[in-house]
Structure 1
Amino acid sequence: MSRKIPNCSLVTPTYNWPEALELLLISALNQSRLPNEIIIADDGSRQETKELIERFKENSPVPIIHVWHEDNKNQKPKIMNKAIAKAQYDYIVEIDGDIIMHKDFIKDHLEMARKNTFLYGSRVNIQESYLDELFKKKQTKFNFFSKGIKKRGRTLRIPFLSNFYKKQDKRSSKLRGCNMSFWREDFIKVNGFNEKLVGWGIDDSEMIQRLLNIGVKGKRLKYRGLAYHIYHKEQSKDHIHLNREIEDNTTKNKITHIPFGVEQYL
Structure 2
Amino acid sequence: MNLFQYDFMIRALIGALVIGLAAPALGIYLVQRKMSLIGDGIGHVALTGVGVGLLLDRSPVITAVIVAAAGAVAIELLRERGRTSGDLALALLFYGGIAGGVMLVGLSNNRSNASLMAYLFGSLTTTSRTDLVVICVLGAVVLAAMLLLRPALFAICHDEEYARVSGLPVRALNILIAVAAAVTVTIAMRTVGLLLVSALMVVPVAAAQQVTRGFRSTMAAAMALGVLAAGLGVWLAGEIDTAVGATIVVLAIAGFLAVAVAAAAWRALRRRPFTRTAEVEPPDVILER
TM-score w.r.t. structure 1 length?
Answer: 0.23
The structure having more radius of gyration, on CA atoms, is 2
Higher share of residues assigned strand: 1
Higher RCO, 1 vs 2 (CA within 8 Å, ≥6 residues apart): 2
